[in-house]
Chain A
């Protein structure tokens, strides 16, 4: 009877309305019938609203300045990380322009030799330690949990700590520079020049301690990346379905593990040589300056790959999206990344060919150096095949990737050339080397990074960058880059040495230097165009929607910008190019609590659901711990007693960090202790009572 049916509907609607504010009633309501599928959908929608509000309350940052300081959300920290690293990139870039102005004509007296020494040291140090490594980790901190389908990065408080350490280390170095105590012994601070005898004062000490800061930061972030990669993936994302960018960051994180402690140790020994009279690098007392070079380059060469491998991850991601097809040779690319990670540790001595090593050693390292071209070559051919078999769309992120191909291949070629000892000896310490590594680093890392900025900008901000201005940015940067650095190859072959503040007119280097300076100005304009584009788009860019590029990875399955909890329901994964391969109504994860920061832990190989663990709340303790550590690090530049004395506040803040909040802990008794270990739990309670 139609009348009765109508009444029923009215009743349901009334119940639904009543249930709107009460999830329990809603569930009861939804369980009460199974006939009307449309109502099911409606009920789901209302349940979603409740879930959304609960999750936002649980995962959102606390309001106000305090909440801002205490945030442990990977997106908040990641954005901070990216902005800070970009700030250091601008600072390092300004120094580069100053150097180019000084070198634009012979016998220029714009900058004196002492300041010039500080500037080139600060430029290299800033770009390597304060920009290139941190910015790659920063992007990973933001993107990885989204790509892997979880709510936050593993060890979120450690993440906040890592950011603060990096910030304080960078700021310390720059304040020292502004106060004319900037390091002046080159970014690799060779002894004996950087030792106590030839670099009195505190300049090199600040450099050495900056290393400690940034290494602490890089190491903790790597720990988070590795744990997130192995344990926090969406159910079904087995190892062979993990996006290539995540693989790239995993390899990077492992390389950080073995490279960074070495340089931290080396710089600690340098600091001790300078402050408490140890003799690690002092040949008069049995020390050896070459020990520094070995330790530094055992870090320094892997460092290049620590910067470049994330770049290749960007390239694989962007290329696949805009070629509209899965990456060609996924397994080959991943294995190339891993083998690059291994071979990268066997090349460091090629930085030391000019130190007179045994012939056998030189031959070995020549072989290893040339060998690393193999995995890079495999990747390049896989990328070409992806392009070949796809339907490429030349959006601005894609343009940066194509620019990367050209620049990186040139840089790779000059790298292979220098792997040969005779060529290396000829061009050692000339502008040829400067040209080579800027081709590799700007080509291999900065161009993919700008591609990544253009690619993920809509995800982070919710708005698209202006496409036309993006293309303009690319072309200005591409032309500017080549104008700046290509002439340096020729200058180097003509014998122009690195790290000179000026040169004589009769050497004939003036014209090419002027050209390089003009290119430098153009490159700067390109970066400015990007900044203008970003600022304009932030206010007035077109709304991006969840997935503007129709890409395959999980970060595009949530809104732009993503909510504090990333996904309303954690997704499950059935294929490698998730969003392309699987239907939209793929099962989602339910049963995680939304009133505490519960996340799903999955198994290492096939990502089956395994545990529900609770992440800690936002906290001010990581900031306090990093302040205490900062005080100890800076203090130790001035007196060794800062180390034992400074340990105390660090211990106190770390204890505060780990100490659980009683109320919170009591609200969440671990149910399975009772369930699975009933007797033990009773005994435990008795003991406590």
Chain B
């Protein structure tokens, strides 16, 4: 019998999903700061747009075909992403392995198409400020695609060769959350890059 009063926490679980877990807060931080950065990027784009009479200045409109293909593809990737998250949260190792692999295929194809997209922007980054802004917006999103693809590959390797622990499933769930963010970023990015020049 101990003399001091205690709060015994030995029965608590060692992991949980969502905001109860520390990693969720790290993902949230990334989303906040990178989301903020995209807002500023778009702001810079419109700031450069304002004083010039014609937009795009002196170059043709970007051709939206491959961008649209990528939009469809990236939106479709929400399906494997949903299943990846669900498998992780029910600790289904086989499901996790399958759905991460599917997601990686989507991410890699989207990355490959992104490189094709650059050829249909009808401008170069060093042509004028419009070109610089478009390339940097597209490039920054590309960086997100590559980062999450690599992250998923490492996670898949980890889930294949082990050691598998509870907190690895949390990592997969967080990876899925971050991918939703990358998908969510592409929608306004696509609109700004391909359609805004036609509208304003």
How many chain B residues touch A (Cβ–Cβ < 8 Å)? 63
Answer whether A680 and B6 are a contact pair too, CB < 8 Å, given A272-B136, A286-B130: no
Question: Does the CB pair A591–B2 fall under 8 Å?
Answer: no
Question: Does the CB pair B91–A613 fall under 8 Å?
Answer: no
Contacts of A604 in B (CB 8 A): 19
A671 within 8 A of B: yes
Most chain A CB inside 10 Å of its own CB: which residue of B6, B40, B94, B168 = B40
Question: Does the CB pair A684–B4 fall under 8 Å?
Answer: no
Quick one: which of B22, B52, B163 contacts A155, CB cutoff 8 A?
Answer: B22
Interface string of B70-85 (1 = CB under 8 A from A): 0000000000000000
Quick one: which of A41, A291, A672 contacts B166, CB cutoff 8 A?
Answer: A672
Most chain B CB inside 10 Å of its own CB: which residue of A276, A282, A612, A688 = A612
Quick one: which of B33, B52, B168 contacts A258, CB cutoff 8 A?
Answer: B33
A279 within 8 A of B: yes
Interface string of A222-234 (1 = CB under 8 A from B): 1100110011100
Quick one: which of A30, A601, A681 contacts B22, CB cutoff 8 A?
Answer: A601
* Surface stretch bound by B, among A305-313, A360-368, A651-659: A651-659
A239 within 8 A of B: no
Quick one: which of A262, A587, A665, A681 contacts B6, CB cutoff 8 A?
Answer: A587
Complex CA–CA separation, A223 to B44 (angstroms): 26
A563 within 8 A of B: no
Residues B99-121 near A (CB distance < 8 A): none
Contacts of A670 in B (CB 8 A): 14-15, 165-167
Quick one: which of A265, A614, A671 contacts B37, CB cutoff 8 A?
Answer: A265
Question: Does the CB pair B12–A611 fall under 8 Å?
Answer: yes
Question: Does the CB pair B57–A286 fall under 8 Å?
Answer: yes
Answer whether A40 and B13 are a contact pair too, CB < 8 Å, given A291-B44, A611-B20: no
Which B residue's beta carbon lies closest to that of A260?
Answer: B33
Residues A272-330 near B (CB distance < 8 A): 272-273, 276-280, 282, 285-288, 291, 294-295, 298
A355 within 8 A of B: no
Complex CA–CA separation, A179 to B154 (angstroms): 41
Complex CA–CA separation, A60 to B91 (angstroms): 33
Question: Does the CB pair B126–A588 fall under 8 Å?
Answer: no
Question: Does the CB pair B12–A671 fall under 8 Å?
Answer: no
Quick one: which of B7, B29, B30 contacts A587, CB cutoff 8 A?
Answer: B7
Contacts of B52 in A (CB 8 A): 286
Contacts of B57 in A (CB 8 A): 286
Which B residue's beta carbon lies closest to that of A603?
Answer: B20
Contacts of A114 in B (CB 8 A): none
Quick one: which of B2, B6, B11 contacts A40, CB cutoff 8 A?
Answer: B2
Question: Does the CB pair A261–B33 fall under 8 Å?
Answer: yes
Contacts of B3 in A (CB 8 A): 37, 40-41, 43-44
Contacts of B125 in A (CB 8 A): 272, 276-278
Question: Does the CB pair A288–B9 fall under 8 Å?
Answer: no
Contacts of B37 in A (CB 8 A): 261-262, 264-265
How many chain A residues touch B (Cβ–Cβ < 8 Å)? 89
Interface string of B156-170 (1 = CB under 8 A from A): 001000111111100
A34 within 8 A of B: yes
Contacts of B132 in A (CB 8 A): 269, 272-273, 278-280, 287
A676 within 8 A of B: yes
In the assembled complex, how far is the CB of residue B146 from the closest CB belonging to chain A, in whole angstroms?
8
Residues B17-65 near A (CB distance < 8 A): 19-22, 25-26, 29-30, 32-34, 36-37, 40-41, 44, 47-48, 51-52, 57
Residues A593-617 near B (CB distance < 8 A): 598, 600-601, 603-604, 609-614
B133 within 8 A of A: yes
Complex CA–CA separation, A616 to B7 (angstroms): 25
Question: Does the CB pair A666–B9 fall under 8 Å?
Answer: no
Question: Does the CB pair B7–A613 fall under 8 Å?
Answer: no
Contacts of B165 in A (CB 8 A): 660, 665, 668-670
Contacts of B21 in A (CB 8 A): 601, 611, 613
In the assembled complex, how far is the CB of residue A334 from the closest CB belonging to chain B, in whole angstroms?
20
Complex CA–CA separation, A568 to B14 (angstroms): 20
Answer whether A257 and B29 are a contact pair too, CB < 8 Å, given A601-B20, A665-B165: yes
Answer whether A222 and B29 are a contact pair too, CB < 8 Å, given A265-B40, A295-B40, A680-B91: yes
Answer whether A611 and B14 are a contact pair too, CB < 8 Å, given A265-B40, A286-B129, A601-B22: yes
Answer whether A613 and B22 are a contact pair too, CB < 8 Å, given A222-B29, A591-B11: yes
In the assembled complex, how far is the CB of residue A148 from the closest CB belonging to chain B, in whole angstroms?
14
A53 within 8 A of B: no
Complex CA–CA separation, A273 to B36 (angstroms): 22
Contacts of B32 in A (CB 8 A): 257-258
Question: Does the CB pair B48–A286 fall under 8 Å?
Answer: yes
Contacts of A658 in B (CB 8 A): 154
Contacts of A393 in B (CB 8 A): none
Question: Does the CB pair B12–A588 fall under 8 Å?
Answer: no
Complex CA–CA separation, A673 to B89 (angstroms): 12
Complex CA–CA separation, A666 to B165 (angstroms): 8
Answer whether A33 and B1 are a contact pair too, CB < 8 Å, given A280-B132, A291-B47, A688-B164: yes
Question: Does the CB pair B154–A591 fall under 8 Å?
Answer: no
Complex CA–CA separation, A655 to B154 (angstroms): 7
Contacts of A44 in B (CB 8 A): 2-4
Residues B132-157 near A (CB distance < 8 A): 132-133, 135-136, 150, 154
Answer whether A282 and B166 are a contact pair too, CB < 8 Å, given A40-B1, A44-B3: no
In the assembled complex, how far is the CB of residue A530 from the closest CB belonging to chain B, in whole angstroms?
35
Quick one: which of B2, B6, B126, B127 contacts A589, CB cutoff 8 A?
Answer: B6
Contacts of B154 in A (CB 8 A): 655, 658-659
A662 within 8 A of B: yes
In the assembled complex, how far is the CB of residue A283 from the closest CB belonging to chain B, in whole angstroms?
9
Question: Does the CB pair A609–B14 fall under 8 Å?
Answer: no
Residues A140-184 near B (CB distance < 8 A): 154-155, 158
Complex CA–CA separation, A288 to B57 (angstroms): 14
Most chain A CB inside 10 Å of its own CB: which residue of B8, B19, B26, B132 = B132
Q: Can you list 8 A-B contacts (CB < 8 A)?
A: A40-B2, A40-B3, A258-B32, A264-B37, A278-B132, A279-B129, A280-B48, A670-B167
Q: Which 4 A-B residue pairings sit nearest by Cβ, starting from the closest?
A: A591-B10, A670-B166, A277-B126, A278-B132
Excluding A280-B129, A611-B20, A688-B164, 17 further A-B contacts by CB distance (< 8 Å) are: A44-B3, A258-B32, A261-B37, A269-B136, A273-B132, A288-B47, A294-B47, A589-B9, A601-B20, A601-B21, A612-B9, A614-B167, A660-B165, A672-B13, A673-B91, A683-B92, A688-B162
What residues of chain A have their CB less than 8 Å away from a CB belonging to chain B? 30-31, 33-34, 37, 40-41, 43-44, 47, 154-155, 158, 219, 222-223, 226-227, 230-232, 235, 257-258, 260-262, 264-265, 269, 272-273, 276-280, 282, 285-288, 291, 294-295, 298, 569, 572, 585-592, 598, 600-601, 603-604, 609-614, 651, 655, 658-660, 662, 665-666, 668-673, 676-677, 680-681, 683-684, 687-688
